[in-house]
Chain A
Amino acid sequence: DTAVSQTPKYLVTQMGNDKSIKCEQNLGHDTMYWYKQDSKKFLKIMFSYNNKELIINETVPNRFSPKSPDKAHLNLHINSLELGDSAVYFCASRHSGGARNEQFFGPGTRLTVL
């Protein structure tokens, strides 16, 4: 299946813990994103990487650290989790040279911080 995949799908953890979410795309895209969807379903960009380089960091707390080991992967590590971090996190990818400028989304990771 060609797609954007994320693991885990659900993540429940205690305040103060450190956790990671992984994203992989096998679409051959060179640009990847992390979006956060809050409890009111509002979607907001967090980070964007192009060819493993960070190009967008939208005033996200530095407890959030994205890492792109290669063009196909963009992981999100979160330190010292807080209650307000509870949300659904979506990974997306895009081919920067593509005519359609379409982003393909992963299924989301629902993070619950207790």
Chain B
Amino acid sequence: AQRVTQPEKLLSVFKGAPVELKCNYSYSGSPELFWYVQYSRQRLQLLLRHISRESIKGFTADLNKGETSFHLKKPFAQEEDSAMYYCALSGGGSARQLTFGSGTQLTVLP
């Protein structure tokens, strides 16, 4: 069975402060990990994929297989980063459906 855990339901930081959104996963094979973001009144959209090892909007996430974690980080939070963030896992199989964590609502305060 595959599972994604995001321990923080709500997270508030001040503008300019570092932010880290935690994500841990459980999967027996080699998972593909993602971060999706949902801004207010907008659709869910892909932010990052672990395979790409990219930095999008200043966010990065590193897959740590030993700790089974895929935490999302940004050194200096901006007010426009306020949104709901979902960590997701895509396992094997033809459907490659996403298993989502419960989400973390990030609020960046001025």
List residues of chain A with CB under 8 Å of any chain B CB: 4, 31, 33, 35, 40-45, 48, 50, 55-56, 90, 92, 94, 96, 100-103, 105-108
Per-position 1/0 for B35-71, Cβ under 8 A of A: 0000000111110010010000000000000000000
List B contacts of A45 (CB < 8 A). 97-99
Contact of B46 among A56, A103, A106, A108 (CB under 8 A): A103
Nearest chain B residue, comparing its CB with the CB of A6:
B43
Chain A residues closer than 8 Å to B42, beta-carbon distance: 107
Given A43-B86, A43-B103, A90-B44, residue A103 in contact with residue B94 (CB < 8 A):
no
Asked whether, in the complex, the Cβ of A96 is within 8 Å of the Cβ of B96, the reply is: yes
- A56 adjacent to B43 (CB under 8 Å): no
Report chain A residues within 8 Å CB of B49. Answer: 100-102
B25 within 8 Å of A (CB atoms): no
Q: How far is the CA of A65 from the CA of B37 in the complex (A)?
A: 28
When distances are taken between beta carbons in the complex, the residues of chain B under 8 Å from A48 are: 95, 97
Q: Which of chain B's residues have a CB closer than 8 A to the CB of A105?
A: 43-45
Residues of B within 8 A of A (CB): 32, 42-46, 49, 52, 84, 86, 90, 94-100, 102-103, 105
Determine whether the beta carbon of B44 is less than 8 Å from that of A101. Answer: no
B95 touches A42 (CB 8 A): no
The distance in angstroms between the C-alpha atoms of A52 and B32, with both chains bound, is 25
B102 contacts A42, CB within 8 Å? yes
**What are the residues of chain B within 8 A of A92 when measuring CB–CB?**
44
Q: Decide: A56 and B97 in contact? CB cutoff 8 A.
A: yes
